[in-house]
Amino acid sequence: MQSGEPEGKSIQDGVVTSTLFNREIRILSTTNEWMLATALLDTQCCEGNWISRRLVERLERSSSISTEFEPPEIIEASGRPVKHCGVVKLEWKWFPRGTRVHEDRFYVVPSSDHLDVVFGAEFIVSEKLLEVNEMAFLPLVRDKKSKKADKAAIEEREKKQQEEKMALEERQKQQQQGESQQEGWRSEK
């Protein structure tokens, strides 16, 4: 990290990358273990909170997915419809300092392999994670003329998703190694 940068934000090769809107959480699994996950705070997600099926499976909570729900009709930034396979209610807490256990409902996304959890705008506002200053709104809209630029932006987002997926897998691998070391230390005592 370069000096003078806020925590969670870095500049690499002139490109600003931000983890300011990612938070680490722990989710309770069926084995009563708190498993680490990364949650994206997405102010543009106007419908509920979301979790990847991959993470639900890792938590061994697949049998808890309910298909009895009214699915929201939303689209990804790329314009493709978001497919969902149910809802699941989970217990979780902020990491590393969270003590309060939250219980929330999440829509399950079968195809997300680069994100664990997405907290939407409604949750962000209700938990006062970000304050909305309605007096400071400046309506900006995107010019829809550039199709080539749209395709390039989509490709760039997909590349970034792959990078985020690899970083997530590395964090999970490091967490598992750290937990294994802690168990080894406990057994030595």
Number of residues that make up the chain: 189
The pTM of this model reads 0.63
d(CA 2, CA 6): 9
pLDDT at 7 over 60: no
Query: Using 50, 70 and 90 to split pLDDT, how confident is the model at 17?
Result: very low
Instruction: Centre a 10 Å sphere on the Cβ of residue 140 and count the other Cβ atoms it contains.
Output: 5
Query: What is the fold, at CATH topology level, of the domain defined by 16-132?
Result: Cathepsin D, subunit A; domain 1 (2.40.70)
pLDDT in tens, 63-104: 999 999 888 888 887 888 888 899 999 999 999 888 999 999
Condensed to tens digits (0 to 9), the pLDDT of residues 30-47 reads: 999 999 999 999 988 889
CA–CA distance, 151 with 155 (Å, rounded to integer): 6
Domain boundaries, the chain: 16-132
**Residue among 129, 132, 59, 57 at smallest CA distance from 94:** 129
